[in-house]
């Protein structure tokens, strides 16, 4: 098991971490473990982890390895900015400790160059294969087991070789008190597991569930999206427009109401007709729609917003000091939904156009990026009509 404790036992990892802190860069578990496998890989046959490292995928994928063409194609998705930000972050880290690595390479008589792609590869391995030890107790195991202070993420050799299953896991893993890992087969789940043909003989493929993730997270972390993902959702990022004073009020409200800056929008039909757009989603969209730099807000909502920290007033006479008053502002809910729909329609059109472009440039773009664009555009084609139905329902209620 490779944890942060194992990583910090390495002198070069500690030296690189010190350089990062000197540069004002925060150091977390993922960075420490990535530094460890990056430097152990550089040692080659001298590393006691060589067999494990050689068993790993030797080429990275996902957000850390998106090229310029793929980032351009993903422009209308949350993935593009997230991938660019992560790549910039890793580049800054690499520059911070590069001199330390040069000295270490020389002392260790390691031939070859120090490649940024190798450091990205190490982060890809941690991102796509490290597990949370805290999930050990959450899965119903021995809750008295402790992993040590500030030690949660870990790479577990062999366990991380199991592929993902969209259904039940056919294997179960247990971390023992001596930090060894026991893997057992779930007989009933194994009966339903996919078969793999090897030399004409059908074998059961044992799989683990990597969790319930939307396609955006799959492509970001793993570089692929599973077929028939039952947990598709579009990450809608709330934009807080307006003056700095109004944005401060909005941020306070989001904090007080427990609203997240990202809404996971799902196809309601896939989750039963009883499901409706949540109150939290409507509140977040309403806060997003208010803008004191525009007068009026729109042709449909003639509201002049004036921030009055920690509240705001509408048209100079309505003090909005709680969530019920916010939702009661005439026309605001419909306007907020319309603004959201406009953004989603723009994203959908761009994704469809870029999906066609990716098909024409298949040699330069991974198939997963094309599949993601097609899948997410189709998802938005389902979500948008549901939002429009909510606008119609809201208008009827206001009229009556």
- Torsion 119-63-260-138 (CA) sign: negative
* Torsional class of 366: left (φ above 0), alpha (ψ -120 to 50), beta (otherwise): beta
pLDDT of residue 400: 44
Residue 243 contacts residue 102 (beta carbons within 8 Å): no
Residues of the chain with pLDDT under 70: 134-151, 167-168, 176-180, 189, 271-275, 294-303, 362-364, 395-400
- Torsion 208-212-215-218 (CA) sign: negative
pLDDT tens across 347-378, in order? 999 999 999 998 887 666 788 999 999 999 99
Tell me the pairing of strands 163-164 and 207-208. Answer: parallel
Q: Give the Å distances, CA to CA, from 24 to 17, 19, 94, 101.
A: 11, 9, 13, 18
**Euclidean distance between the first and final Cα of the chain, in Å?**
64
Angle, CA of 211, 212 and 218, to the nearest 5°:
85
**Residues with Cβ within 8 Å of residue 390, at least 6 apart in sequence:** 276, 277, 337
Alpha helix segments (H runs only) across 27-77: 29-43, 50-55, 68-73
pTM over 0.75: yes
Q: What are phi and psi of 90, to 5 degrees?
A: -65, -35
Radius of gyration of the chain (CA): 25
**Residues with Cβ within 8 Å of residue 18, at least 6 apart in sequence:** none
Tell me the pairing of strands 262-265 and 207-208. Answer: unpaired
- Between CA 368 and CA 363 the distance in angstroms is 12
Residue 158 contacts residue 55 (beta carbons within 8 Å): no
């Amino acid at each position: 098991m490779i944890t942060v404790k194992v990583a910090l036992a390495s002198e070069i990892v500690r030296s690189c971490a010190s350089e990062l802190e000197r540069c004002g860069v925060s150091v977390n578990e993922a960075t420490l473990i990535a530094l460890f496998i990056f430097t152990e890989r550089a040692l080659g046959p001298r590393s006691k982890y060589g067999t494990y490292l050689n068993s790993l995928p030797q080429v990275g994928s996902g957000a850390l390895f998106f090229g310029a063409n793929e980032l351009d194609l993903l422009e209308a998705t949350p993935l593009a900015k997230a991938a660019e930000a992560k790549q910039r972050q890793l580049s800054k880290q690499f520059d911070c400790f590069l001199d330390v690595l040069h000295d270490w390479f020389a002392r260790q008589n390691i031939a070859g160059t120090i490649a940024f792609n190798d450091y990205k590869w190490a982060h890809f391995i941690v991102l796509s294969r490290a597990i949370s030890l805290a999930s050990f107790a959450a899965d119903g195991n021995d809750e008295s087991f402790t992993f040590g202070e500030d030690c949660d993420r870990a790479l577990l050799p062999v366990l991380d070789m199991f592929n993902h299953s969209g259904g039940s896991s056919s294997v179960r893993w247990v971390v023992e008190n001596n930090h060894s890992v026991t893997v057992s087969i779930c007989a009933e789940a194994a009966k339903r597991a996919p078969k793999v043909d090897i030399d004409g003989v059908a074998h059961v493929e044992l799989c683990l569930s990597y969790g319930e993730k939307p396609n955006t997270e799959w492509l970001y972390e793993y570089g692929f999206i599973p077929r028939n993902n039952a947990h598709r959702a579009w990450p809608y990022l709330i934009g807080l427009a307006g003056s700095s004073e109004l944005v401060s009020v909005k941020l306070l409200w989001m904090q007080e109401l427990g609203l997240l800056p990202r809404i996971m929008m799902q196809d309601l039909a896939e989750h039963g007709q009883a499901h409706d757009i949540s109150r939290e989603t409507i509140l977040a969209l309403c806060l997003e729609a208010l803008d004191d730099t525009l007068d009026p807000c729109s042709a449909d909502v003639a509201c002049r917003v004036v921030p009055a920290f920690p509240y705001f007033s509408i048209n100079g006479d309505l003090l909005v000091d709680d969530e019920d008053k916010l939702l009661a502002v005439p026309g605001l809910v419909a306007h907020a939904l319309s603004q959201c729909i406009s953004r989603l329609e723009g994203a959908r059109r761009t994704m469809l156009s870029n999906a066609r472009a990716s098909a024409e440039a298949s040699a330069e773009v991974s198939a997963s990026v094309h599949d993601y664009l097609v899948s997410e555009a189709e998802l938005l084609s389902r979500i948008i009509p549901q939002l429009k139905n909510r606008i119609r329902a809201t208008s009827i209620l206001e009229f009556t």
